[in-house]
A and B are shown apart, each in its own frame.
Chain A
């Protein structure tokens, strides 16, 4: 884990961190969590999150959602393409909504020991001239013959630098054992 000094140095020009992702935090949940909030301690241009998670909800698939700076207002746009087995379907928010969608996770109806994984990149995190954008991908197996793979894009339609990112699910909690790693990139 990088120290605060290392994180500061990594954000400066001429340090290796300016060209490589810098791990800021890895957290493995010891208890079910309704939300996971990452507070920005060093102002990187980009925030990259690699995650592995499942939901406590009994339904088969839930959305992995994100909110910027704690905003639960209708300020987000999203679009996705998701394949369930051989069927590819696109969907979009169609209008401003209350969170980004950056992936999907399975629920308790998935086969034992099956976990979902993915990653997303929040771009433009350290500027306030244009809206923050994000792209994600995720994949999971509900059963050996029922599978999901998706790509996602989102936008936060409020100007301002990113000070925090809150992850939540469309239903249920992140189960214990879910893991989130946050990196900074310039």
Chain B
């Protein structure tokens, strides 16, 4: 696996010298976990935004209802 040309690397820039070190198996696993967490956080944020929108549109407050009607008419 360490010879895999598609394996991500760490890049070290030291003046004119650039060194590349492939990620270890442990780092690949940790990166996959971090990416998963990031994706879940993004999905949760989108879901929360959808929930907020549902709460606003379901409001019985006449002012909010008027605003929702206005926004729909002008969307």
Contacts and interface: CB of A to CB of B under 8 A. Distances in A.
A108 to B, nearest CB: 12
A162 to B, nearest CB: 14
Size bin of chain A's contact surface: 20 to 34
B39 A34 contact: no
B13 A172 contact: no
Interface residues of B, number: 21
Contacts of A25: 13, 15-16, 18
A24 B27 contact: no
B interface, over-half SS: mixed
B16 A32 contact: no
B35 interface: yes
Given A27-B18, A31-B20, A34-B31, A57 B11 contact: no
B50 to A, nearest CB: 16
Interface string A136-161: 00000000000000000000000000
Interface in A28-48: 29, 31-39, 41
B8 A32 contact: yes
24 contacts: A1-B16, A24-B15, A25-B13, A25-B16, A25-B18, A31-B5, A31-B8, A33-B10, A33-B20, A34-B9, A34-B23, A35-B10, A35-B11, A36-B13, A39-B15, A41-B15, A57-B38, A59-B39, A60-B42, A171-B38, A171-B39, A173-B8, A173-B31, A180-B13
